[in-house]
Amino acid sequence: MKFLVLAVLIAVAVADTAYPEYPATYDKPSYDYAPQPYSYSYAVKDEASYNDYSHSESSDGKVVTGSYSVALPDGRTQVVTYKADSYGYVADVKYIGEAKYPEYKPSSYSPSYDPPAYSTVYPDSTY
């Protein structure tokens, strides 16, 4: 009995020191760079795959402005112009063109074989 109590006390002491405590919060990183101005843009127009999109963005270190556009499957182009600063993100979305959809044509599908007739009675069932 004394051995069992001693073993339990040793197990509790070892378990308490097995894992170190981690700090509740993290310190601020030692690197704190000032915001840097930047500007970039790109565009893709691939006729074979119908990909047509572009993006341009610039920042003065405090305010980010930009726009992007993408060709939609319905024939329109979506253009988004945005501004992001300390007050939030504001976007203006516009559509250029008119949506076009293909004309509806009823299917002329007919099976090339006669489907089998189904029955709920099985040949070897004894009712």
pLDDT at 121: 67
Cut 0.75: pTM above it: no
DSSP secondary structure string for all residues of 67-103: EEEEE-TTS-EEEEEEEEETTEEEEEEEEES----PP
Q: Is the pLDDT score of 3 beyond 60?
A: yes
Handedness of CA 96, 90, 43, 73 (dihedral sign): negative
- Sheet of 77-85: strand order equals 38-46, 51-59, 64-71, 77-85, 88-96
**What is the band of 125 on the pLDDT scale with cuts at 50, 70, 90?**
low
